[in-house]
Amino acid sequence: MTRHLPAIIFLLPLSLAICLPLIGIKHREWCRPMAFAVIAGMVLVSIANLVGVLQTGTIHYAFGGWAAPIGIEWVADGLASVMIVALSLLALICVIFISSVLFPNLGSRIVPFYTLVLLLVGSLVGMIFAGDLFNLFVFLEVSALCAYALVGLAGGKALVAGFRYLILGTFGASLYLLGVGYLYAETGTLNMADLAERIPLLVTSKAIAVGVLFMFIGLGIKMALVPLHGWLPDAYTYAPDRVTPLLASLVTKVALYGWIRIMFWVLGAQAVIYQIPILFLVGVLGAMAALIGAFLALSQKEIKRMFAYGGLSHIGLILVGMSLGNQTGFAGGVFYLLNDAVMQAGLFFWAGAIIHLYGVRTIEDLVRLRGGPGWMSAALVVMAMSMIGIPPTGGFFGKWYIILGAVEAQNYLAIAAVLIATLLTLAYFLKLFERVFRDRSAQQPPLMREVPLAVRISLGATSVAIIVLGLMSDHIVNFLLKTAVPPGL
């Protein structure tokens, strides 16, 4: 039974996404509870899957019974199972937030809306489990298509932002597919484990080098690595407030996970392209992304846009951790990735809630929060502490392990990049805090509105999760070191 759990996790959201348009014709109000129930079921199955993987080792699921190099394989190893648990928990919280009464009624569009959300979650599961490069491409495109449609749902400026996202995203996907084609032409296989055996024999091949670069640029566009991030700020700023947390916390992170999978499990940590170690390349780009993202966040006036740039900087930090080439750095990077997913979800919950409760869109408007419910500010403080990296939050320990890894690798530039990014993050959150807590110039009466239950649950859950991740960091990192470290590191 345990053997089939990876497929079940994927089939749960997919089958409901297929059935929902039929059910929705008659019973529109069923969409919300059914989506919630299915994703709650996903959480349970994914935890069972994690336990099963820990007990019996990596699960290789062969679809249709065709064995690995020829058939389609899904691999549920330690890292993938941990990611799936995080993904389904975050999806659950996001679905609670989506159903809040805060947002305008979607009317009949609620049925396609929930279909897209479920399809997005399902395709992300597929990306995490995918055991061959082409499967990764297919799920990458399915998730991206859902994301384009969800961004465009808000209408107005979001349509243009969604269109730009689509053009750039498709360009990235085409480059990725081209890279896969190069690798296939050179090695004759698409299976990741099979490729990992054949690529070391072909290190001097130009086709492998170019193919890997194409794949990296393609996934770089999808994960919004800084020089390739053009679509992200607009898309996240204008996307409907209810789906931004889902997109921000999951879509870019899973694309990043795809690259980690290829970098460590297919190419190997020691891979070198034309005398340039690939980890070095990724580390330099990550450090650049961490600094430039934080700088750009500092100069933003809109809150959602500022958080979007903050997310770009964190993608860079995760890549810095990955690029250190030792186990501590890798575990720190994965731990920071989990944290960042929670933080991005929490920040965009907060930003969406204050837009709809108090009409606060820019940093100037934040004065209106004064006199509002104290725990809205408290949630912001927790999230900000984690973004900056102040103990006892998860963000602190993530950066801590990344720096430990950098010390181990004697990579002082990486330490400098992490510290400067931290200072810049502190600077842009101080800008927010100054408005919320210190500014006494404007004397607007605060707008008092009851905070809906769904918003309270989702904000509370992410804040608690950040603290718990921080307090449990020791156990989680040790666990990752034991179960999720790639071979050869």
Give me the residues that bind other proteins (CB under 8 A), please: 134, 137-138, 141, 145, 148-149, 152, 155-157, 159-160, 162-163, 166-167, 170-171, 173-174, 177-178, 181, 184-185, 190
Q: How far is the CB of 155 from other proteins (least distance, A)?
A: 7
List C-alpha distances in Å: 83 to 134, 235, 307: 20, 25, 23
Q: How far is the CB of 108 from other proteins (least distance, A)?
A: 16
Integer Cα distance of 93 and 81 in angstroms: 19
* DSSP 8-state secondary structure symbol assigned to residue 191: B
Q: How far is the CB of 141 from other proteins (least distance, A)?
A: 5
Q: Which is nearer to other proteins, 246 or 269 (CB)?
A: 246
Strand-strand pairing, 73-76 and 59-62? antiparallel
Q: Which is nearer to other proteins, 156 or 445 (CB)?
A: 156
Q: How far is the CB of 230 from other proteins (least distance, A)?
A: 12
Q: Which is nearer to other proteins, 178 or 430 (CB)?
A: 178
Q: How far is the CB of 159 from other proteins (least distance, A)?
A: 5
* DSSP 8-state secondary structure symbol assigned to residue 156: T
Q: How many residues does the chain have?
A: 489
Q: How far is the CB of 145 from other proteins (least distance, A)?
A: 5
Integer Cα distance of 9 and 267 in angstroms: 28
Q: Which is nearer to other proteins, 88 or 143 (CB)?
A: 143
Q: Which is nearer to other proteins, 62 or 138 (CB)?
A: 138
Q: Which is nearer to other proteins, 181 or 392 (CB)?
A: 181
Q: How far is the CB of 178 from other proteins (least distance, A)?
A: 5
Closest CA to 249 of 35, 431, 466: 466
Q: Which is nearer to other proteins, 17 or 96 (CB)?
A: 17
Integer Cα distance of 324 and 226 in angstroms: 19
Q: How far is the CB of 231 from other proteins (least distance, A)?
A: 13
Q: How far is the CB of 144 from other proteins (least distance, A)?
A: 8
CA 450 to chain centre: 31
Integer Cα distance of 213 and 330 in angstroms: 21
Would you tell me how many other CB atoms lie within 10 Å of the CB of residue 289?
A: 29
Residue 123 and residue 197 in contact, taking contact as beta carbons nearer than 8 Å: no
Q: Which is nearer to other proteins, 70 or 472 (CB)?
A: 70
Q: Which is nearer to other proteins, 160 or 442 (CB)?
A: 160
Q: Which is nearer to other proteins, 162 or 405 (CB)?
A: 162
Amino acid at 329: G
Q: Token digits for 368?
A: 């209106």
Location of structure tokens 């993904």: 87
Q: How far is the CB of 158 from other proteins (least distance, A)?
A: 10
Strand-strand pairing, 73-76 and 276-277? unpaired
DSSP assignments along 350-389, one per residue: HHHHHHHHH---BSGGGGGGTTS-HHHHHHHHHHHHHHHT
Q: Which is nearer to other proteins, 174 or 377 (CB)?
A: 174
Integer Cα distance of 334 and 398 in angstroms: 8
Integer Cα distance of 334 and 79 in angstroms: 9
Integer Cα distance of 341 and 128 in angstroms: 15
Q: Which is nearer to other proteins, 212 or 382 (CB)?
A: 212
Angle at 447 between CA 441 and CA 449, to 5 degrees: 150
Strand-strand pairing, 59-62 and 272-273? unpaired
Element (H, E) at 272: strand 272-273
Q: How far is the CB of 387 from other proteins (least distance, A)?
A: 30
Q: How far is the CB of 268 from other proteins (least distance, A)?
A: 24
Would you tell me how many other CB atoms lie within 10 Å of the CB of residue 33?
A: 10
List C-alpha distances in Å: 127 to 12, 131, 182, 262, 456: 15, 9, 20, 12, 31
Residue 395 and residue 339 in contact, taking contact as beta carbons nearer than 8 Å: yes
Q: How far is the CB of 121 from other proteins (least distance, A)?
A: 18
Q: Token digits for 175?
A: 């480059």
Q: Which is nearer to other proteins, 123 or 425 (CB)?
A: 123
